[in-house]
Amino acid sequence: MRRSSLRRLRLSMAVLIGMSPALAFGQASLSSDGEPPVPRRDNYYAAGDTVTVPTIVAGDVIAAGRTVTLSNVVEGDIAVAGWQVSFTGAAHDDVRIAGRVVQIAGPVSGDLTAAGAEVTVGPATHVNGRAWLTGGTLDVNGVFERELRIAGGTVRLGGEFRQPVHVIAEHVELLSDARLRSAFTYESPRPALRADGAVVGGPTTYRAISERDAREAHAFRLVSSLLFATHLILAGLLFLWLMPGVAAALVGTMRTAPARSGLVGLLLFVAGPVTAVLLVVTLIGLPVGLTVGAFYVVALIVALLTTALRIGEWEATFFRWAEMGSPRQRRLALVAGVLTLATLRMVPVFGTVVVLCGIVFGLGALGLTVMRLPHGTPATV
């Protein structure tokens, strides 16, 4: 059981750690000139509601958004997070994708790591490197040249797998066009369903596990962290778009007064819900209590976004990425900070503490910024 847990932890960490901002930092190119696709000499960074890589990229691609589409050739690494992610181009290096709905239908010369509630690997996919897949429902086709590891709720295999395949899932199905040329090892509460025509050329090893172990195998903490990252990125992009000056002021307060932010934030973190509850139970103060509660929830989100922006700003400085002077750089800092928080959140206990600390410090920065307003300090910069 301990070895199985370690395997699951490695699989989970591979997704978000692989998407961390330390992958590659370089000059970003976010616009297309409308000309036919030509190779780019730089990396491509993008964050927004809808992100489409407009041309061939000679470097790496790092992108996040509600909908992300990659249909061109990418010479370097790909690291993408979004609500719906579609990859139909060609990757000449490693690919790391996380989202709710993930569709992969193109050749990958390096390793493939993908996680999502629904993951579909189409017949056009050809992976030359190793592959790690996790999620709720996984339909896996295509050709895999090297070892494949999967952790999921329902796993359906229908492609050609030339090296060992290891699956941990609640339900395992081998479709009629499945061709497993090497060893097949799977762990599940019940034996796999094998359609007529499915071929397993190597030895098959089955280990029965409990329903609970099967559910834990497809990493609830991983999936929740992916959803955490996706929603926080989208909320942060909206925040930066509507109130860029407020965001900059909050980050500036946290940067210049971190200790005071922590102390004030701890006070607000405790006092906020207590005040709302006391007002609600008095009945007379019910409307005010509900309003305070609603503002408190919004404040928690803004606090976490502030911490993420500050973390991204620090990472940009530490890795000598760029100065936080333009809206584009702030968006990239947001994505970097959120992915870092999501990665740390995956560590049991420690991750929860990190997120709570992020909320506390962010609340403190918010409180200090608001307290300064009557004294003439502007809310925007």
Q: What is the pLDDT along the chain (381 residues), one digit of tens a residue?
A: 444 444 443 444 344 434 443 333 333 333 333 444 445 547 787 766 788 887 888 888 877 777 899 998 999 888 787 788 999 999 998 888 877 899 999 999 999 988 888 999 999 999 999 998 888 899 999 999 999 999 888 999 999 999 999 999 999 999 999 999 999 999 999 999 999 999 999 999 999 988 887 777 655 556 667 667 777 877 888 788 888 888 888 988 998 988 999 899 899 888 888 887 887 777 677 788 788 888 888 888 899 999 998 888 887 777 665 555 677 778 878 887 887 887 777 666 777 888 899 999 999 999 898 887 654 444 443
pTM over 0.75: no
Alpha-carbon gap, residue 290 to 149, rounded angstroms = 48
Strands (E), 88-203: 90-91, 95-104, 107-108, 112-121, 126-127, 131-140, 143-144, 148-157, 160-161, 165-174, 179-180, 184-188, 193-194, 199-200
CA neighbor of 78 nearest in space, from 56, 99, 93: 93
Residue ranges covered by each domain of the chain: 2-217, 243-375
